[in-house]
Amino acid sequence: DAGVTQTPRHEVAEKGQTIILKCEPVSGHNDLFWYRQTKIQGLELLSYFRSKSLMEDGGAFKDRFKAEMLNSSFSTLKIQPTEPKDSAVYLCASSFGTNNYAEQFFGPGTRLTVL
């Protein structure tokens, strides 16, 4: 069974650019999460979809971050415009279940560097 796939694995952007990160969840999973990981803040939730409906849009991240689920097997995270402080690892995770404490399966992440 394929796990969560994320592309690209590494991305370098200039300040002000628009970048799009991609995620394919585990087949059959109905929950999808986007997180940002930094050493200072740890894992911060950016967006949470349940059966393609947006449950959580990350509050403080609303301005320049937009996640979409185009279908049940594909999601994107757009950052527009990028800033140097956005440099981090972006993780996508999926889970299956009707509650919010099911095991989450994570992808390998995309390491973003903004110059």
Partner 1 sequence: QQKVQQSPESLSVPEGGMASLNCTSSDRNFQYFWWYRQHSGEGPKALMSIFSDGDKKEGRFTAHLNKASLHVSLHIRDSQPSDSALYFCAASSNNYAQGLTFGLGTRVSVFP
Q: Which residues of this protein are in contact with partner 1, per CB under 8 A?
A: 4, 31, 33, 41-43, 45, 48, 50, 55-56, 91, 93, 99-101, 103-109
Question: Considering beta carbons, is residue 20 or 43 the nearer one to partner 1?
Answer: 43
Compute the residue count for the chain: 115
Of 42 and 71, nearer to partner 1 (C-beta) is: 42
Task: Please count the other Cβ atoms lying within 10 Å of the Cβ belonging to residue 34.
Answer: 24
Write down the least CB distance from residue 15 to partner 1, Å. Answer: 26
The contacts of residue 83 (CB under 8 Å, 6+ apart) are: 15, 64, 114
CB closer to partner 1 out of 18 and 55:
55
State which residue, 5 or 17, has the beta carbon closest to partner 1. Answer: 5
Shortest distance, position 102 Cβ to partner 1, whole Å: 9
State in Å, rounded, how far the first CA of the chain is from the last one. Answer: 37
Burial class (CB within 10 angstroms; exposed 0-12, middle 13-18, buried 19+) of 22: middle
Min separation Cβ 30 and partner 1, Å: 12
